[in-house]
């Protein structure tokens, strides 16, 4: 499929994604390349989550396949990602701690519920609203998730299991982890990181560093690093054949927690996928369908949960690799999923020999990459308040709760934004009673104001009148002293919010009660309709609302004599 300079027009919601046979070679090569990149990451995320390597692999297959079939971004590659893995890890740890026998089944039910939520978002056409979140909050949230992923890999990196209690539990157990370090596994993890960081660009074009680290680490563990006092921990045997269907399971006592977890997982998946879709658009010069993409992502997560796979979302690394290798249509994502499925079914015995320390090194590198280092370095230079919000979100994400981090971050950011916008809009609420005032008026209108000798007040609003300017409207109106006529000029108002409209209504009523001539002119469109619904025009005769500003000034001056 060739790219065009202009985004394609969409005539309606189609069932399948854009699957094309015009670029078979590029799509197949993109699918193979993306599968090679996905394999080590899926294994690493599966082990890191506590659900097992098989869960990571089947999550990569099922989420990727259904998102490619039914999504709205042709070149997007979907699979378990670092942020999604961090959330599902916490979900699994929490539910299995409460219910050791059924916790994992409930965790997969959470994945299904998250998928259903994403499908609902898609059908409700909420796609364009999902990513309308302050960048300081997104950056802080993602950086916090990256830190969590790094901290959770400390145990496996040192040759031990992840301590209970998440980040806090790992930090508390750090002295014990250091005392029980296994040198051979630390060596494997360090070699893995060295390969990931130091692989030359020329070599990366031939094979992804993750795959190289996986192969080299496994070979070293089977040859050079054998015969130590303690055996190297490995993935272990993978389940043979296709995964079994998992019936949704929940207990009433845990239902509220599961619904909250599914909401977090679903929202994070939406944000992750749509941000990656935007990146794909910028590279391919196409335009994705946000709502359709959410439906595809939801179907992928629903099916993945039904078959014991990890949740996933659009993956930036896999998507970029796919596009660079020639992938343009959904055929690349489909071929990638089928190739991974073949690898799982045919080479499971080889995968069982992979050391967990190698996967810990890969996951740790992903965590480091998730942290928004570029923005962290310059956030304070752009905005001190924005930087403080970002740091707060990072701390809350790492030490408290993901929902609290996003909720508090968005709330504070919106409050600061509203305050800033209100401060700017307050300057657009002005009143003058002489022709030499601040307002830009034609000479004939200025002359009429001068004739009024301070007894005619022109009260003018400009731009978008949000609720933050209501106090300014009241303040300006309260400053009116001895005038006999007030003209409310709304001709330059682009939007009149409910609170601002009520403030205008109060000002008009107060002026009427004090026996002043009142004119409301210039209102049009939604502003006029809102005032009509408030019943404002019923309080004034038509000759004071359906006239021009000049005519209102003329009548006001004439009424003084």
Q: Which of 48-62, 220-234, 254-268, 490-504 has the lowest mean pLDDT?
A: 220-234
- Residue 403 placed within a domain: no
Beta strands in 5-145, from DSSP E residues, in sequence order: 78-79
Beta strands in 414-548, from DSSP E residues, in sequence order: 429-432, 456-465, 485-496, 517-521
343 and 259 in one domain? Answer: yes
pLDDT per position as a tens digit, 109-137: 999 999 999 999 999 998 888 777 788 88
pLDDT per position as a tens digit, 426-471: 665 666 666 555 666 788 888 888 888 878 888 888 777 776 666 6
- Residue 528: pLDDT over 70: yes
- At which of 353, 371, 389 does a domain end? 371
- Residue 377 placed within a domain: no
- Residue 538 placed within a domain: yes
Question: What pLDDT was estimated at residue 7?
Answer: 44
For the segment 159-184, the average pLDDT, to the nearest whole number, is 88
431 and 321 in one domain? Answer: no
- Whether residue 316 contacts residue 78, with contact meaning beta carbons closer than 8 Å, is answered with no
367 and 463 in one domain? Answer: no
- Residue 2: pLDDT over 80: no
- Residue 517: pLDDT over 90: no
User: Cα 202 vs. chain centroid, distance in angstroms?
Assistant: 34
Q: What percent of the chain has pLDDT over 70?
A: 90
535 and 449 in one domain? Answer: yes
253 and 178 in one domain? Answer: yes
pLDDT per position as a tens digit, 143-165: 888 898 899 889 889 988 888 87
Domain that residue 187 falls in: 24-134+173-371
Helix or strand holding residue 32 (H, E): helix 24-49
Supply 472's token pair: 């300014």
- Residue 418 placed within a domain: no
pLDDT per position as a tens digit, 253-279: 889 999 999 999 999 999 889 988 988
Name the residue with higher pLDDT: 465 or 309: 309
For the segment 303-310, the average pLDDT, to the nearest whole number, is 96
- Residue 92: pLDDT over 60: yes
Among the listed residues 301, 296, 303, the one whose alpha carbon sits nearest the alpha carbon of residue 277: 296
Side-chain-side CA neighbours of 335 within 13 Å: the count stands at 26
Question: What pLDDT was estimated at residue 432?
Answer: 66
- Residue 194: pLDDT over 70: yes
- Residue 382 placed within a domain: no
Q: Which string of b and e fits 386-398 if b means at least 16 CB within 10 Å?
A: bbebbbbbbebbb
Question: What pLDDT was estimated at residue 13?
Answer: 45
Tell me the H-state helices in 158-208: 166-172, 174-179, 183-198, 201-204
State how many domains the chain has.
2
Question: What pLDDT was estimated at residue 338?
Answer: 94
Question: What pLDDT was estimated at residue 352?
Answer: 80
444 and 354 in one domain? Answer: no
Beta strands in 227-327, from DSSP E residues, in sequence order: 313-314
- Residue 165 placed within a domain: no
Alpha-carbon distance 101 to 380, whole Å? Answer: 48
Q: What percent of the chain has pLDDT over 90?
A: 30
pLDDT per position as a tens digit, 13-59: 467 777 777 888 888 988 888 998 888 889 999 998 989 889 999 99
528 and 448 in one domain? Answer: yes
The CATH number assigned to the domain holding 468 equals 3.30.750.24
435 and 367 in one domain? Answer: no
Ramachandran quadrant class, 326 (left: phi over 0; alpha: psi -120 to 50; beta: rest): left
- At which of 324, 345, 371 does a domain end? 371
* Confidence band for 478, pLDDT divided at 50, 70 and 90: low
Among the listed residues 295, 317, 370, the one whose alpha carbon sits nearest the alpha carbon of residue 76: 317
- Residue 19 placed within a domain: no
- At which of 336, 355, 371 does a domain end? 371
Helix or strand holding residue 90 (H, E): helix 82-98
Question: What pLDDT was estimated at residue 502?
Answer: 87
- Residue 486: pLDDT over 60: yes
- Residue 384 placed within a domain: no
321 and 216 in one domain? Answer: yes
179 and 42 in one domain? Answer: yes
205 and 68 in one domain? Answer: yes
- Residue 176: pLDDT over 80: yes
Average pLDDT, the chain: 85
- Tell me the whole-structure pTM to 2 decimals: 0.76
342 and 235 in one domain? Answer: yes
């Amino acid at each position: 499929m060739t790219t065009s300079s202009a985004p394609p027009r969409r005539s309606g919601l189609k069932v399948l994604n854009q699957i094309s046979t015009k670029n078979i070679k590029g799509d197949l090569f993109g699918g193979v390349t993306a599968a090679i990149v996905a394999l080590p990451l899926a294994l690493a995320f599966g082990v890191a989550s506590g659900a097992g390597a098989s869960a990571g692999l089947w999550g990569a297959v099922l989420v990727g396949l259904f998102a490619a079939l039914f999504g709205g971004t042709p070149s997007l590659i979907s699979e378990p990602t670092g942020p999604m893995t961090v959330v599902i890890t916490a979900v699994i740890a929490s539910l299995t701690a409460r219910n050791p026998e059924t916790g994992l089944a409930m965790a997969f039910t959470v994945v299904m519920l998250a998928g259903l939520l994403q499908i609902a978002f898609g059908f409700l056409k909420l796609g364009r609203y999902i990513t309308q979140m302050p960048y300081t909050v997104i950056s802080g949230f993602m950086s916090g998730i990256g830190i969590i992923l790094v901290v959770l890999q400390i145990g496996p990196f040192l040759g031990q299991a992840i301590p209970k209690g998440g980040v806090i539990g790992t930090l508390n157990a750090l002295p014990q982890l250091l005392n029980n370090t296994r040198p051979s596994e630390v060596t494997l993890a360090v070699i893995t990181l060295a390969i990931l960081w130091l692989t030359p660009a020329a070599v990366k074009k031939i094979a992804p560093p993750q795959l190289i680290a996986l192969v080299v680490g496994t070979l070293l563990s089977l040859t050079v690093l054998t015969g130590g006092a303690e055996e190297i921990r490995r993935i272990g045997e993978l389940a043979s054949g296709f995964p079994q269907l998992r019936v949704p399971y929940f207990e009433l006592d845990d239902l509220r927690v599961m619904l909250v977890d599914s909401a977090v997982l679903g929202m994070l998946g939406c944000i992750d996928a749509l941000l990656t879709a935007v990146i794909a658009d910028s590279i391919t010069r196409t335009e994705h369908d946000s709502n359709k993409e959410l439906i595809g992502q939801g179907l992928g997560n629903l099916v993945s949960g039904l078959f014991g796979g990890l949740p996933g979302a659009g993956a930036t690394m896999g998507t970029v690799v796919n596009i660079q290798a020639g992938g343009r249509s959904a055929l690349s994502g489909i071929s990638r999923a089928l190739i991974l499925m073949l690898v799982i079914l045919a080479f499971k015995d080889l995968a069982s020999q992979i050391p967990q320390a190698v996967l810990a090194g890969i996951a740790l590198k992903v965590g480091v990459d998730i942290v928004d280092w570029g923005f962290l370095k310059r956030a304070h230079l752009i905005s001190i308040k924005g930087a403080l919000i970002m740091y707060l979100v990072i701390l809350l994400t790492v030490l408290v709760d993901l929902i609290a981090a996003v909720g508090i971050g968005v709330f504070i950011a919106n409050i600061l934004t509203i305050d800033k916008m209100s401060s700017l809009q307050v300057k657009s609420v002005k009143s003058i009673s002489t022709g030499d005032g601040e307002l830009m008026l034609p000479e004939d209108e200025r002359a009429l104001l001068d004739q009024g000798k301070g007894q005619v007040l022109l009260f003018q609003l400009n731009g978008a009148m949000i609720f933050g300017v209501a106090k300014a409207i009241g303040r300006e109106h309260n400053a009116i002293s001895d005038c006999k006529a007030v003209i409310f000029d709304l001709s330059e108002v682009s939007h009149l919010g409910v609170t601002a409209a009520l403030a205008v209504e109060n000002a008009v009523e107060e002026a009427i009660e004090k026996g002043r001539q009142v004119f409301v002119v210039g209102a049009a469109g939604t502003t006029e309709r809102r005032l009509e619904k408030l019943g404002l025009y019923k309080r004034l005769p038509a000759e004071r609302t359906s006239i021009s500003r000049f005519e209102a000034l003329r009548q006001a001056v004439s009424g003084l004599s």
